[in-house]
Amino acid sequence: MLPVITYSPAYTVVPTYECFNACTYCNFRVQPGTDEWLSLTHAEAELQQLQACGVIEILILSGEVHPLHPQRSEWFQRIYALCELALRLGFLPHTNVGPLSFEEMAALKQVNVSMGLMVEQVTPKLLQTVHKYAPSKVPEVRLQQLAWAGELRIPYTTGLLLGIGETQADWRDTLQAIAHLHSKWGHIQEVILQPHSPGQSQAEQGNPFPAEKLVEVVAIAREILPEDITLQIPPNLIPEPSILLACIAAGARDLGGIGPTDEVNPDYPHPHDEAIAIVLNQAGWQLVPRLPIYPKYDKWLPPQLQEATQRWREKLKTQQKT
């Protein structure tokens, strides 16, 4: 039996691309007030087409609406309703929509099997550069989300964005902050190591993070983070199979959500899972689909979500036997 690399068969639903942050490297956001929000009717039509396609995870990914915006409540209710819709149609929702209040996170726990938010980097110096017009990128705000997720027993994904002006010492500081919070709550299931990859829509072009340096970051992360946190790397942002395999050799074990479009990096389409499986198999690894929640966290879920999760676990078990 070959050792396993996992991925999540996923589809991304975007309630709105509007975002009150204006990070200079972003290829996702549009200006507030310029986007037509996704309707539940349209979302249902989209998701119904996926029911026989092997998709497990529905990633609810949104631009950030200011906490004091008059439409904040409407935005949050739309996100909640999209999660309910995904569950009703047989999928498992994972929400990543920017900083939330403790009460909002507690509510979404009832309709999500896991949630997430990128820390990016904890150094405050980026608030003078790429995050100058991004109020919610204050490091304390991001870390507070991780702490609340721990208090609420929400299985959580976070990560680092690499190549936005940080140093190697900043990588270590960010990883140590994540490790510290995990040591208290035990809730971080994955840490994504995402290299900045310039796209056509960002305000400032910037330089791509050197792909070969990603191997070094993986090794540092594996040194600092507890073993029970899985390291995730995005295969569409790694140009060479040899670098992908070197990252795996250094300790990466997951390739994240693979679906039709990477909404955050639209200029970098996801490779097909079958193509990746061939590359990995030739190198002595087996690519295996997973759920957006790791098995050890199943008991944290409300009963109805435990039932939905167990149905998927049984389904994958049956598929792997055939």
Report CA dihedral (268, 156, 142, 75) to the nearest 10 degrees: 80
Whether 316 is covered by a domain: the verdict is: no
> CA 146, 148, 150 angle in degrees (round to 5)?
70
What is the CB neighbour count within 10 angstroms for residue 122?
20
- Picking from 311, 319, 272, the residue whose alpha carbon sits closest to that of residue 90 is 311
The tens place of each residue's pLDDT in the chain, 322 residues long, gives 899 999 999 999 999 999 999 999 998 899 998 999 999 999 999 999 998 889 999 999 999 999 999 999 999 999 999 999 999 999 999 999 999 999 999 999 999 999 999 999 999 999 999 999 999 999 999 999 999 999 999 999 999 999 999 999 999 999 999 999 999 999 999 999 999 987 776 667 678 899 899 999 999 999 999 999 999 999 989 989 999 999 999 999 999 999 877 678 766 677 777 889 999 999 999 999 999 999 999 999 999 999 999 999 999 998 887 6
> CA 319, 232, 91 angle in degrees (round to 5)?
45
| CATH label of the domain that carries residue 194 | 3.20.20.70
Structure tokens at 303: 């009963």
Domain that holds residue 184: 4-290
Whether 318 is covered by a domain: the verdict is: no
Whether 320 is covered by a domain: the verdict is: no
pLDDT number for residue 25: 92
pLDDT number for residue 248: 98
Whether 16 is covered by a domain: the verdict is: yes
Number of structural domains (the chain) is 1
Distance (Å, whole) CA 2 – CA 313: 20
pLDDT number for residue 90: 97
pLDDT number for residue 227: 97
Whether 34 is covered by a domain: the verdict is: yes
pLDDT number for residue 203: 60
Q: Where are the beta strands (DSSP E) in the chain?
A: 4-13, 57-61, 92-96, 114-116, 156-162, 188-195, 230-232, 254-258, 286-289
Whether 304 is covered by a domain: the verdict is: no
pLDDT number for residue 263: 75
Whether 317 is covered by a domain: the verdict is: no
Whether 297 is covered by a domain: the verdict is: no
- Picking from 216, 211, 146, the residue whose alpha carbon sits closest to that of residue 182 is 146
pLDDT number for residue 146: 98
pLDDT number for residue 316: 92
